[in-house]
Structure 1
Amino acid sequence: VGLDPLLVAAPAIGLLAGAILALRVVPLLAELAERVLGTRSGLVAPLGARQLARRPLRYTRTALLLMLAAALGTFAAAYSTTWTRSQADQAAYAAGSDLRVEVASFPDLPLWAFKEAYEGVDGVERAMPVVVDRFDVSDGGAGQLLALDTASLPAVADIRPDLLGGASLADLAAALEPDLEGLDPIRLAGEPVSLMIGLDTALENLPLEDADGNLVFAGPFPETLPVGRVSAALRDGAGIVRVFDGVGRFQAAVAGQEIEVELTEELASGGTATPHYPLELISIQLLLEPPPDTRLAGELSVTSVATQDVAGLDAAVDLVPSRDGWSWLLERGLLAPEPAPAVNGRPETVAFAEERPIYGDEGSIELRLLPDSLIEVAERPLPIAVGRSFADETRVEVGDVAAIGSLTRRTQVEIAAIMEAFPTLDPVQPFAVLDLGGFALATYARSGEDLFADEWWLSVTDEAAAVVALDADPYSVETLTSRTGRTAELTDDPVALGVIGALAIGSIAALIVAIIGFVVSAVVSTRERLGEFALLRALGLSTAQLSAWLAFENAFLLAAGIVGGAGLGVLLSWLVLPFVTLTREARAVVPPVLVQIPWLAIGVVHLLAVAALVAAVVAIGGILRRVPVSGVLRAGQD
């Protein structure tokens, strides 16, 4: 990709053309000043205005020089501040937060332990999980999906309000908050290290015939044959559903079994991985894995649930399915979950009749005991913020309900906001952002799976310490993006810095030349009009009145040049800078450029102009005080 020569030349062309056009305004302003001031009492103001209106061309050269200097200085300062702000915006957009961690595909930490681990790192203040996914769009392409913890979003992320349609991060987080009213999980007291789940099983192997009708029956299998696994789905302190696996397998036909589900894990690198407390019990899962060539029937019952703390003390969990509105779901392979065959009056039990047994050759069967309210809540549309490209392509508006996802997993969503862009996402491609907690609940209710947080966005108080710590085990950092580091990298572009330096040198030189030219022009103009001033002195004007007259003329000239030039520079900045501020690869920057006008620098230019006016007035006053009135008049007569 090459640079457009017109873009390179545009500032210079615009500067010169604008200054020339602005000069056409100087005579008009002089005539206006004459009309306004000509009727006033006194001599100074009417004389000054009359002089400007009679001879406007005398002042155009100096005015042009002042305009060019002021416009160049304003444009140079605006380019510098705009470019610097743009690099910082690009870095913030690429990082999303102070630090962005991309987690390795095979992490050393369990999925449920990352939040506590990252927030325990020296220098890290808060960690926000982010799930990166894709979804189908109408044209057969793929959209970008970010599911993130909206409760942490305002404290962690760094996003320009204009990219969010003028809303703040707090407004966006509130708009994306899912409707979880009615969800009634069971709160686990304290900080348990394990769950103890009691089971009664009574499964038997039934006779089985092959395709030819021959009996395939190896006989009853042992009652202690391991036939399945236990796991528990818990909602952590961040509202994210996490699945914890039990230790060992449960047996086929044994009453009073107790399976431990560990909620912590000893790490090979030392230390203990813990979840983000407090925890809420969402579901108990039983994964049946019958041996091949078997046909199972019988009952499975969850008889008790208890927590165990670090001291080994048990505390019973008050779970009564019939009272708390819990029931069983059954999932066979890729089929949608369906109600499991329950036993009347015993909702903690699921039964498989001989007429509809479990076949070992059909693979595993998953049973989930969960609150009915979870299914009801998961069916509600999730609030979602979509990109402008997505909205234009699908023609959706705020308040519309749609479904996103792939062919096999669709999520109902309601459009809560339309954004121009969102950090780390390509705004040209369709994208969507939603709350991770709500998305995790919907995903679990649909498939019984928890989500892998591909990224973690971190807010830090000591970036150097955090980077050093994250580089070690067991944090499983694949890629680490630093906003500060990215900003330093982008602002170290020698080409852009060279342009800024050249503009700065040129504007300073032009300003010095313009001020010198202005003072010299004022002095020379005064000397050329000594005869006129001597005559006015003879008619009764004082030196102070003559000085005020000339000060008025030069102040008008200076104001027209500096103010007009500054206005031209501001206009040129607004028109040109969004198009000439590019990446190193000469591509349009993301996010779009926000033009920054350095009013302080413009104020400094105006102060220098006032200083130049004072110098000119002092020089003119000195000349006027030394004018020999009689001598000049006699010389003029001769």
Structure 2
Amino acid sequence: MTLLTTATHFAGAVAVGGVRDAIAGAPVADRAILVTVSATSAEGQALDGSVVGEIEAALGATGGTIARVVRSSTLVPIAGGPVGADGLTGLASYEDLALHAALTAGNWPEPGHSPRQAVVRADVAEELELSVGDRLSFQDPRADGPSVDLELVGLWRPDRGDAYWVGPGGDESAPDQPRRLSPIIPFDDLAVAAASPRLDIEWRASVALERLEIADLPRLRSALARLQAALTGALPSSVRPTVRTALPATIAEAERSVTVTGAGFTALMAQFALLGGYAVTLVAGFLLERRRSQMALVIARGGAGRHLSALAAAEAVVLVVPATMLAIWLPSLIVPAIPEHVALGTSVGAATAIGSDVLIVAVASAAGAVLGFMLPSLTVRPDAVAIQAALARPARRTLAQRVGLDVAVIGLAALGLFQLRLYGAPLVRDARGALGGDPLLVVTPALTLLAGSILALRILPRIGELAERAVVRRRSLVAPLWARQLARRPLRYTRSALLLMLAVALATFASAYASTWARSQSDQAAYQAVADARVRGSAGDLPPWSVGAAYRTLPGVEAASPAFFQPLRVGRSVTDGELLAVTPEAAARVLTQPVAASTSFVPLLDRLAQERPTTTAQLLADRFDRLLVTLDVSLTALTLGGDPLAAPPWLAVEVTAAFSDGDGRIHRLRAEDAASSEGIGQPISVLLDRAAQDGPLDASYPLALVGIELAVTAPPGASDLSGTLEIRAVEAGESGSERLEPISLAALGSWRWWRESQFERGPVMTDERALRIVIGDEGLPIAAGSSVDHRLAAGQTVPGPVPAIVSEGFLDATGTRPSDVILVDVGGEPVELAILESSSLFPPLDPDRPFVIVDTHVLSLDWYADSGNELPSVEWWLALDDARASEVAETLRGAAGSTDVSLRTDVARSLAGDPVALALIGALGLGALAALLLAAIGFLLSVGVAIAERVEEIAILRALGASRREVGDWLTVDGGVLLGFGITSGLGLGLLLAWLVLPFAALTQSGAASVPAPQVIVPLEIVLGVLIVAGALMMGLLLVVWGQLRSQPIARILRDADA
């Protein structure tokens, strides 16, 4: 009973602590409330009561803090004074600033001084070279009023992560916030100093997490979602309040976590209740066996069944009431101590008050215990003859077996397992889409445990019958006697074996759950992080073509691979798919293979690399950084009537070269110079500028030329153009080299010309001179005033579709199969795919969405030829030296623009450190240990009771000539077989339960299915532990058996039996 109430209280504490930690750990913008209005000082004071009242009504009984921030209009410095990095300056007043910031120098400002006292944020002051004692002067550029003179009396820094610092631009305490000079002065001074009558007024609110309870979440989420409407209705129509808060979404996420936690603890408590209920029934059965003769005496003297029931009820009340009081009181002592010994987070166990849920569980457990104590006596016929018959020939089947309840339990467990496999998790969504635990699915583990025990107990008597047939003709005493007893009196054995079996099964399941959960978190981290590090965001000031080489040369980086994500559509069959483009060779070196993944990813990448088609791209020399394009240009500007325009030659043609690097990425570089509208042999250089402050930049070699673009522009006043463009020569090499290597014009002649303007896009037909484009009357006209690109692009040697690996969901949605060709939409561009094979998983893609994996080399060239664009949305996957992973992450995070660097170890640590899941595992482990202890005591008690029940049989055997050793061996074998059967069956049942249930357990914080699916892990330590327990129980068995035999006076027992 104490186990159930403690688990209930622990579950509540874990849920409350988990919710508080989740909200406290969320970004400032996701856990704070910001209300803003624009009003005069007088209007703001009038509005304050209404705004604060609505915020307090939304917070409800939970309460929280509300602080006001007032800002003036933008000011400009006088006489070249300092301004912020964004060129803006403004006065502000922060209520209770001293409670949410720390002074680094000076003092906090006081009102009423001249000049007015002000404080400035320390990092802004350092950047602007300001110090305490400096004088600042500002004025409003839109007003002719007097200037604002300030004296800097202090410098301060904000408390990082405090919800107080939620501002219109996000977290004001973050170091990457804009460095705006915003002197803070007292509100009384601000109201006078502001030149403009209108002020920006903010109310910043946060929830009092120490008072937040689970029951408050739905109401708080709903009230905050309605806060905008409530404020609009409460304030005058001329005032337009704005509410900024993501707290409802954060609360909704926390509620999902509570649902997952509740389902896990309910399943856990169902198993504890099963074990405790049977333990009570076992004790009641022992009492019944010991008192059958006394009950017969009560019936013989005129007693009735109600008297027996009353005696059993009185006895149960005497035992249960003190146990209930302890069960209600002890959790308040046990739960608060748990965080001191178990790493579950400081908030776990914070709720020490006993709630109504604990009282309900205690009362229900007490009622069940009373009923359990009374149940055996209720099944006894109030008939002395029947009682004597039961003493002479005990029943072979229990009441549950006789009425078929065991079959019903097995059927219910089978139904639960079927539905669990059908839904994939114990959590389902109702008709409104709300996530909740299905009662049958939640208790399915307990039902499976009970059903397995029932099946095992039906086997035990059959084992006795077979053993009796095998050994009945032997001359020894021990084996035939043990086999006959087991076959004739199975209930004497099964009731003891069941408790041991349940405890061992629960311990095995607990160990498998903990190991499976830990492995699943590691696999989920490997799948989500893809590699040792996942970098999203720009690389600062580095040119795109140098990023790959820059990452690969970082100390600690062993390999790097780019990845591109694009939305994928296929008609109406696939509307939310995703395409991933990777470089197969590079990706294979960085991908982390989850242990539980059913698919090996490297062979898929090898298949993509093998199917890569050859192209007409022209490979460039190593260390290439200069391309020289020689053009012949002859263009004439035409008027609207088609006559030549009297205009001097103009810069008509801009040249851009496209290169493919070793990762398959395409980079476009534009020449600084343009070609004239008239000229033969005009050289235009395209440079790869490798100069950098820290040394020359490198590209991801080898590079290949894949395109030359000629952007033709008409001069002012022209309505059309006519003439020709022709590429006479293309040469490549290093800037410092006097000699450039020519690129074969014949090879470029196999490329295709594409034309793109604001009106059309498509291929262009050329004459016998493949590198010449005819413009105007002899070719395609250029619209007046527009620029038209002519792109000469490489392609596949033999044009064909893009090889692809697709998900099984993609095949199902599109009705395709491997070897099919299908046209898809990738980011708005049509792409033809050739399906090579399918895969159920590929990191980090969601297997529930159709996905496609292609080779970056192939897709980027196809994309460029059709659209002239590079693949967007690049991120980088890095393989790191484990010893330097943190150093690499800090380096990348310090680079401007590298906003998101995820280390696999950090993701794994975050998942494996979930306090709610650890609490569930801890409770399951502690419950399993308690169950083993209870089962061990119950087993030894049952052995002692069984020997006490057989004292007359033992005395008769001794009188007939059986030695003490033979009798001892018989009792030892009797108990040893029971012990072995209970241990072995429990171990097998626990493994079966783990195999049936764990693949569908909620092993994620959100309750969603784990990706990849968990692999059931059974540690060998549990087998070793069970063997140690079995050995200890065997030693206890020997002590009990031989201790009781030595204390039995045979002669007195026989005389008492005759009497």
TM class, shorter-length: 0.7 to 0.9
Q: 1:301 to 1:35 in 2, by over 3 A?
A: same
Displacement after TM superposition at 1:315 (Å): 4.3
1:524-550 per-position Cα deviation (integer Å, ceiling 9, x unaligned) = 434554554455456565555444433
Q: Distance in 2 between matches of 1:588 and 1:266?
A: 50
Q: Which has the higher contact order (CA 8 A, sep 6+)?
A: 1
Work out which of the residue numbers 865, 868, 876 in structure 2 matches 1:445. Answer: 865
Work out which of the residue numbers 771, 789, 792 in structure 2 matches 1:366. Answer: 789
Displacement after TM superposition at 1:302 (Å): 3.2
Q: 1:306 to 1:153 in 2, by over 3 A?
A: closer
Contact residue 724 and residue 775 of structure 2 kept, 8 A: yes
Work out which of the residue numbers 631, 646, 656 in structure 2 matches 1:219. Answer: 646
Percent identity over the alignment? 34
Aligned ranges 1:98-137 → 2 under 5 Å: 98-104=532-538, 108-137=541-570
Displacement after TM superposition at 1:511 (Å): 0.5
Q: Distance in 2 between matches of 1:479 and 1:460?
A: 16
Aligned ranges 1:318-397 → 2 under 5 Å: 318-322=742-746, 326-333=750-757, 335-344=760-769, 347-352=770-775, 354-356=777-779, 358-359=781-782, 361=784, 363-370=786-793, 374-377=795-798, 379-397=799-817
1:584-603 per-position Cα deviation (integer Å, ceiling 9, x unaligned) = 34444444444333343144
1:196 aligns with 2:624: no
Q: Which residue does 2:677 correspond to in 1?
A: 252
Contact residue 190 and residue 278 of structure 1 kept, 8 A: yes
Q: 1:398 to 1:599 in 2, by over 3 A?
A: farther
Q: Distance in 1 between matches of 2:668 and 2:685?
A: 14
Contact residue 599 and residue 841 of structure 2 kept, 8 A: no
Secondary structure at the counterpart of residue 1029 of structure 2:
helix
Q: Which residue does 1:186 correspond to in 2?
A: 618
Q: Distance in 2 between matches of 1:444 and 1:432?
A: 19
Displacement after TM superposition at 1:468 (Å): 0.4
Q: Which residue does 1:307 correspond to in 2?
A: 733
1:613-636 per-position Cα deviation (integer Å, ceiling 9, x unaligned) = 233135434555676767766776
Work out which of the residue numbers 978, 990, 993 in structure 2 matches 1:569. Answer: 990
Which blocks of at least 5 consecutive residues in structure 1 are unaligned? none
Query: How many residues are aligned here?
Result: 619
Q: 1:348 to 1:2 in 2, by over 3 A?
A: closer
Work out which of the residue numbers 276, 284, 287 in structure 1 matches 2:708. Answer: 284
1:332-391 per-position Cα deviation (integer Å, ceiling 9, x unaligned) = 3264542453454xx5544547522652527333334455xx2444x3222222223322
Q: Distance in 1 between matches of 2:727 and 2:491?
A: 102
More helix by share: 2
Contact residue 524 and residue 594 of structure 2 kept, 8 A: no
Q: Which residue does 1:27 correspond to in 2?
A: 461
Aligned ranges 1:452-467 → 2 under 5 Å: 452-461=872-881, 462-467=884-889
Aligned ranges 1:479-558 → 2 under 5 Å: 479-526=900-947, 528-533=949-954, 535-536=956-957, 541=962, 543-558=964-979
Work out which of the residue numbers 507, 510, 513 in structure 2 matches 1:79. Answer: 513
Displacement after TM superposition at 1:489 (Å): 2.2
Letter in structure 1 aligned against 2:561: M
Aligned ranges 1:394-405 → 2 under 5 Å: 394-405=814-825
Q: Which residue does 1:275 correspond to in 2?
A: 699
Contact residue 177 and residue 383 of structure 1 kept, 8 A: no
1:123-164 per-position Cα deviation (integer Å, ceiling 9, x unaligned) = 22222111111122232723211111221233322344775x
Displacement after TM superposition at 1:66 (Å): 0.1
Q: 1:221 to 1:90 in 2, by over 3 A?
A: same
Secondary structure at the counterpart of residue 477 of structure 1:
coil
- What is the aligned-residue RMSD (CA, Å)? 3.2
Letter in structure 2 aligned against 1:280: A
Q: Distance in 1 between matches of 2:751 and 2:454?
A: 82
Contact residue 205 and residue 221 of structure 1 kept, 8 A: no
Q: Distance in 2 between matches of 1:33 and 1:437?
A: 72
Q: 1:87 to 1:198 in 2, by over 3 A?
A: closer
Q: Distance in 2 between matches of 1:401 and 1:323?
A: 29
Identify the range of structure 1 (238-247 vs 494-503) with the bigger mean alpha-carbon deviation.
238-247
Q: 1:314 to 1:365 in 2, by over 3 A?
A: farther
Query: Normalising to structure 2: TM-score of the pair?
Result: 0.54
Q: Distance in 2 between matches of 1:622 and 1:126?
A: 70
Contact residue 303 and residue 348 of structure 1 kept, 8 A: no
Q: 1:204 to 1:186 in 2, by over 3 A?
A: closer
Displacement after TM superposition at 1:100 (Å): 1.6
Secondary structure at the counterpart of residue 51 of structure 1:
helix
Identify the range of structure 1 (238-247 vs 625-634) with the bigger mean alpha-carbon deviation.
625-634
Displacement after TM superposition at 1:470 (Å): 0.5
1:170 aligns with 2:599: no
Displacement after TM superposition at 1:172 (Å): 1.2
Q: Which residue does 2:369 correspond to in 1?
A: none
Letter in structure 1 aligned against 2:685: E
Contact residue 505 and residue 986 of structure 2 kept, 8 A: yes
Q: Distance in 1 between matches of 2:698 and 2:558?
A: 18
Secondary structure at the counterpart of residue 784 of structure 2:
helix
Letter in structure 2 aligned against 1:403: L
Q: 1:320 to 1:385 in 2, by over 3 A?
A: closer
Secondary structure at the counterpart of residue 249 of structure 1:
strand
Identify the range of structure 1 (438-447 vs 536-545) with the bigger mean alpha-carbon deviation.
536-545
Letter in structure 1 aligned against 2:636: N
1:50 aligns with 2:487: no
Q: Which residue does 1:205 correspond to in 2?
A: 636
Contact residue 616 and residue 796 of structure 2 kept, 8 A: no
Contact residue 135 and residue 404 of structure 1 kept, 8 A: yes
Q: Distance in 1 between matches of 2:469 and 2:816?
A: 59
1:241 aligns with 2:666: yes
Q: Distance in 1 between matches of 2:842 and 2:807?
A: 8
Contact residue 288 and residue 366 of structure 1 kept, 8 A: yes
Secondary structure at the counterpart of residue 97 of structure 1:
coil
Q: 1:253 to 1:546 in 2, by over 3 A?
A: farther
Q: 1:477 to 1:529 in 2, by over 3 A?
A: same
Q: Which residue does 2:894 correspond to in 1?
A: 472
Displacement after TM superposition at 1:408 (Å): 6.1
Which blocks of at least 5 consecutive residues in structure 2 are unaligned? 1-433
Q: 1:349 to 1:305 in 2, by over 3 A?
A: farther
Q: 1:413 to 1:181 in 2, by over 3 A?
A: closer
Q: Distance in 1 between matches of 2:705 and 2:553?
A: 25
Contact residue 751 and residue 793 of structure 2 kept, 8 A: yes
Secondary structure at the counterpart of residue 255 of structure 1:
strand
Aligned ranges 1:290-301 → 2 under 5 Å: 290-292=714-716, 293=718, 294-301=720-727
Query: Normalising to structure 1: TM-score of the pair?
Result: 0.87
Displacement after TM superposition at 1:202 (Å): 2.9
Letter in structure 2 aligned against 1:229: E
1:432 aligns with 2:432: no
